[in-house]
Amino acid sequence: MARRALVTGGSSGIGRCIAETLARDGCDVGIFYLGAPDDALPVLGRIESLGRRGWSCIGDVRDSAEVSNAVEAFAAKFGGVDVLVNNAGVFRDEVVWKMTDAQWREVIDVDLTGMFHFARAVIPRMRAGGWGAMVNISSINGLRGKFGQTNYSAAKAGVVGLTKALARETARFNVTVNAVAPGLIETPATAAMSDDARRESVGEILLGRAGRTEDVAELAAFLCSDRARFITGEVIRVDGGQYV
């Protein structure tokens, strides 16, 4: 039986690439995202072209009821949930002395609390199934901090702690929980960076270029597979040496 995977923020960027890679590897895939109905059509078409079943749901990871309802609907359609990739995230960059309460709360609520909502909803189903794999998308800026990103760095550092605690809580049920920490990756979100910010970031990368969404997706898919069955509680960087 095909494994059943949920990807948050799965309509574009890293999330879309992860969803398509999981489908390539034999999973039926659902995406949860915040956007218009048509935003899901390209990724659903790709999933189905790979011979797998696709599913989509529009919702906000900050809303625990919407998350619970989406997980219930996905599990009812596919018979359970085996894989969760917590990818949904936002940037609201500003130096701390100019950052508003709204900018702080939105990033913390989406990038960290949203992952908690999905983990809480999905883990009981993984326990019942006797197997599960969860991958949480963090960032190297959650490991080192970043100027102008106190909210984002704090949220992504929280993802690391969340991942390690969940790994301890779920291991007895044959569930693994790991985090991936990308550096600069070419996505629609990073395309909006200023030229100066891009030059600064690329200048930090030992390989001298930004990464591609496939670089993150291949690792995430590996961590969701049986090949990674003895890996849990890890935080793995995909950054071309940007953190070094």
Q: Which residues are catalytic?
A: 152
Distance of CA 77 to the CA centre of its chain: 22
Q: Which residues contact 208 (CB under 8 A, 6 or more apart)?
A: 202, 240
CB neighbour class for 145 (10 Å; exposed up to 12, middle 13-18, buried from 19):
middle
The amino acid present at 41, given as its one-letter code, is: L
What's the Cα-to-Cα distance from 68 to each of 57, 59, 86, 224, rounded to whole Å? Answer: 12, 11, 14, 22
Phi/psi region, residue 143 (left: phi>0; alpha: psi -120 to 50; beta: rest), is: alpha
Main-chain phi, psi angles of 58, to 5 degrees: -90, 130
User: Are the C-beta atoms of residues 224 and 231 closer than 8 Å to each other?
Assistant: no
Mapping DSSP to helix (H, G, I), strand (E, B) and coil, where does residue 136 land?
strand
- Which residues are bridge partners to 187 per DSSP? none
Residues 219, 244, 93, CA angle at the centre, nearest 5°? 80
Closest to 10 measured CA to CA, from 65, 64, 74? 74
Please give the single-letter amino acid code of residue 192. Answer: A
